[in-house]
Amino acid sequence: MTYGLDVLAFGAHPDDVELFCGGVLVTLADLGYRTGIVDLTRGELATQGTPEGRALEAAEAAKVLGLALRENLGLPDGFLDASPDSPHLPVAVEALRRHRPELVLLPWIQERHPDHVAAGELLTRALFFAGLRKFVSGSAPAPFSPRQALYYEMRHRMPPSFVVDTSKAWERKARAIACHASQVKRGEQDPPTLIGSPLAIEAIEARDRYRGSLIGVRHGEALRTMQTPGLVDPLAHFRSNPFVLPHAFEPRR
């Protein structure tokens, strides 16, 4: 298998990846990997901001995250379609085949926002069909399957397969989020929104601090695989991971 981009994260809206797995992307970029984001929609239904303004914000956030690329597929905000005969499926498959990422990050399939749920389901379906030779997907027809796909946690707590230490990435993640000023800053006359709430960023950091506490670090982000992770050398794995003093524990499953 020939890969292109090292890591590609998908989000339903132009600020989703920053908010919910921005720390992982910063951490991987620091390790020397080529990272990118594909936003499915322009976020045109958002209470605040315009598609044009949000595109500029996303470009500034990309610089902070250290991305190698960022693009927007222009699918309709509020109407992402994850059905089996969805016209959005070939678009998502084409993006996967064109960028050929070794690792894919996608939204967890349980969420409060309908677009987030649809994005997770659409991309899960696209990951399967991208590997089928007879599935037609426009300008990038060659079948492709990434090495691994991982789900990232949004507002619904997700049972993680593991937690990534993002302690060194938090400040840059916060700066990337702040680039989306139309969404996270609220003027006195602006109608209330969830992400514009004064407590929104504090809540996101609280979640990252909790995930970090599971592995004994300051900040962390949870990732999940639908498959059982395998280890070639368990001893080498634990030797290279200094997470020996957790301060919180999840229930056994």
CA atoms in the 13 A half-sphere facing the CB of 143: 7
**pTM value?**
0.94
- How far apart CA 52 and CA 114 sit, in angstroms, is 23
C-alpha 81 chain-centroid distance: 19
**Which DSSP category does 167 fall into?**
G
The per-residue pLDDT for 9 is 98
Residues 160 and 24 sit within 8 Å (Cβ to Cβ): no
Question: Minimal CA–CA distance to 24: which of 216, 248, 211?
Answer: 211
Residues 208 and 241 sit within 8 Å (Cβ to Cβ): no
Residues 37 and 136 sit within 8 Å (Cβ to Cβ): no
Q: How many residues does the chain have?
A: 253
**Quick check: 112 pLDDT over 90?**
no
Residues 168 and 27 sit within 8 Å (Cβ to Cβ): yes
The per-residue pLDDT for 127 is 97
What are the pLDDT digits (tens) for 98-107?
999 999 999 9
The per-residue pLDDT for 241 is 86
- What is the rounded average pLDDT of the residues 149-173? 96
**Quick check: 189 pLDDT over 70?**
no
Sign of CA dihedral 69, 127, 105, 59: positive
Question: Minimal CA–CA distance to 13: which of 35, 44, 39, 38?
Answer: 39
- How far apart CA 35 and CA 38 sit, in angstroms, is 10
Q: What domains can be seen in the chain, in order of their start residue?
A: 7-239 (3.40.50.10320)
C-alpha 191 chain-centroid distance: 27
- How far apart CA 42 and CA 249 sit, in angstroms, is 38
For the chain, what percent of residues have pLDDT higher than 90?
77
CA atoms in the 13 A half-sphere facing the CB of 7: 23
**Quick check: 191 pLDDT over 80?**
no
The pLDDT mean for the chain works out to: 93
| Residue 149 backbone dihedrals phi, psi, to 5 degrees | -120, 135
Residues 101 and 146 sit within 8 Å (Cβ to Cβ): yes
How far is the first Cα of the chain from the last one, in angstroms, to the nearest whole number?
A: 35
